Chains A and B, each alone.
Chain A
Amino acid sequence: MIRHIRLPFTKETLAQIKCGDILYLTGTVYTARDAAHKRMYDAICEYRDSHKDDLFEETLTGKKLLEEGVLPIDIEGAVLYYLGPTPAAPGQVIGSAGPTTSGRMDKYTPTLLDLGLTGMIGKGRRTEEVRASIERDGAIYMGATGGAGALLSKCIKECETVAYEDLGTEAVRKLYVEDFPVTVLIDSEGKVYEYGKE
């Protein structure tokens, strides 16, 4: 099924979306790949460690982590795009901008999902642990076309670096996308798209 979606996702839309659906996303997504994930994850772990006496797990929210300066974005309700673009040439919003392999983020993903991360865009398989977290937290994993970076860049209308500028292509960028094409690979019930079983 083809759906046009306005971000952020609502619980109601997420419940309707099934794996194998083609979505055209419009709204805000944040880029983060290996190095940015590691930095966010380490910051969360460090914060948890230093507050383990005065903090109950339940009180740790995306908003709180943003306010405390632990994370550079409010992860709650956010959509992450696993992307390290090429530099924008003069007159361009962004350079080539296709997805990278999601599996390398698997180690960090359950932690982010438990903090309220709603969606991820990448390519390739996820671990069972990530799938289970997606189901538990009612999130969604989407695939964009690997190696279609020039095409996908045309759907990105605004781009601003918001954190970790020193990481170059791996910095966190806030993107505004319009009709950005993805396919749902794991839906909020934890069902996985498998080829041959449409």
Chain B
Amino acid sequence: MRTIDVNMIADAIAEMCVQANLSLTPDMLAAIGGAAKSETSELGANIMGQLQENLKIAGEERIPICQDTGMAVVFVRVGQDVHFEGGSLKNAINRGVRRGYTDGYLRKSVVSDPLLRENTDDNTPAIIHYEITDGDKVELTVAPKGFGSENMSRVFMLKPAEGIDGVKNAVITAVKDAGANACPPMVVGVGIGGDFEKCALLAKKALTNGLNSVHSYYEDSDEFKDTTGAKAGRKQPDAGYLEELRKDLFSALNALGIGPGGMGGKNTVLGVNIETYPTHIAGLPVAINICCHVNRHVRRVL
């Protein structure tokens, strides 16, 4: 058993909120640099130049990359041997968000009630997703999410017969509809399988993975490893097709021609990240969580 003071969590969250809004991960920076080089449309290239300059100013002068510093989405993976002390974990996370957004001069973009719409003035509450895992560590991921792109996200409950083409069409439809509203070049998180809410969560989680990555449920599961266990004699499903699907989507989406800022060009998406989960015999849920070029996430293990 390991004991962790929740104040440590609050401190970490506060720092991570600020860090996420001032700098992107190296894979995002590389992709933006690459797109700036490869863009051939004149107006699109002009936008890519501005985006690079913007990142430079944000880092050097500590001005948030985007004024929509997002709603704070926090993924918490807690090892089952951890014991928290010092008060409620949820309150500590929100305390961290409040401090990060206030002391870090970030925008307060949260309203207290979806219809009454009064600003909470401290960007709380965060959206918190908890997961219990093995071990005695706590992994925190802070992913501030802007709503220009969030508003263009979709869930499709496909029929199994629609298969892989149905999945592709769903993703292409979502990105096409998103257009300039989602501040392209975008990053597209795709969740396939699970049920209605699970696929949406997978799509959000996919955005926090490495750029242009695929991840299937069985990668983290040891269900098939125990050869004498419940799955004895059965083979783990081969998710090798996912990488091909990702590549196909990447080229199909860039062929849309939306381009940087929607001004036309060959860089409509910087990446497609896919997460999958087993699903029901009657269903093929697909969620597309659209993110802009400001795909922010910071991860820390305590």
Interface residue A154 (Cβ < 8 Å from any Cβ of B): yes
Q: Mark B58-75, 1 if CB is under 8 A from A, else 0.
A: 100111111111000000
Checking A96, A148, A196 against B264 with a beta-carbon cut-off of 8 angstroms, the contacting residue is: A196
Please state if B119 and A149 are interface contacts (CB–CB under 8 Å): no
CA distance A92 to B263 in the complex (A): 31
Within 8 Å by CB of A100, from B54, B61, B106, B148, lies B148
Selecting from B39-47, B132-140, B157-165, the interface stretch reads B39-47
**Contact in complex: A87, B119 (CB < 8 Å):** no
Residue tally, chain A, CB below 8 Å to B: 42
Contact B261 A143 (CB under 8 A): yes
The yes or no answer to A28 lying at the interface (CB within 8 A) is no
Contact flag A125-B54 (CB < 8 Å), given A96-B63, A146-B292, A147-B293: no
Q: A131 contacts the other chain (Cβ, under 8 Å)? A: no
Q: Is A86 part of the binding interface, using a Cβ–Cβ cutoff of 8 Å?
A: yes
Q: A89-B62, A168-B119 are in contact. Are A149 and B264 (CB under 8 A)?
A: no
Q: Of B8-16, B175-183, B189-197, B229-237, which binds chain A?
A: B175-183
A100 to B61, CA, bound (A): 22
CB distance from A162 to the nearest CB of B (A): 19
Residue of B263, B293, B294 near A195 (CB, 8 A) is B263
Tell me if B290 is interfacial: C-beta within 8 Å of chain A: no
Q: Interface residues of A: mostly helix, strand, loop or mixed?
A: loop
Task: Knowing A84-B67, A195-B259, A198-B264 are in contact, say whether A147-B183 is a contact too (CB < 8 A).
Answer: yes
CB-nearest residue of chain B to A88: B105
Which B residues are CB-close (under 8 A) to A153?
Answer: 63
Interface status of A95 (Cβ within 8 A of chain B) = yes
Could you tell me if A86 and B64 are in contact, using CB atoms closer than 8 angstroms?
yes
Q: Does A167 contact B (CB under 8 A)?
A: yes
A152 proximity list for chain B (CB < 8 A): 54
Q: Which residue in A83, A103, A125, A147 is a CB contact (below 8 Å) of B294?
A: A147
Instruction: Determine if B63 and A125 form an interchain contact, defined as CB atoms under 8 angstroms apart.
Output: no
Contacts of B292 in A (CB 8 A): 146-147
Whether A72 is near chain B, meaning CB under 8 Å from some CB there, is: no
Cα separation A167 to B108 with both chains bound (whole Å): 11
A197 to B249, CA, bound (A): 24
Q: Report A85-125 CB contacts with B as 1/0, cut-off 8 Å.
A: 11111001001111011010000000000000000000111
Q: Please give me the residue from chain A that is nearest to B264 by CB atom.
A: A195
Residues of B near A190 (CB, < 8 A) are none
Q: How far is the CA of A195 from the CA of B278 in the complex (A)?
A: 39
Give bound CA distance, A153 to B60, whole Å: 14
Other A-B pairs beyond A87-B106, A148-B53, A198-B43, 4, CB < 8 Å:
A95-B67, A96-B67, A100-B148, A143-B261
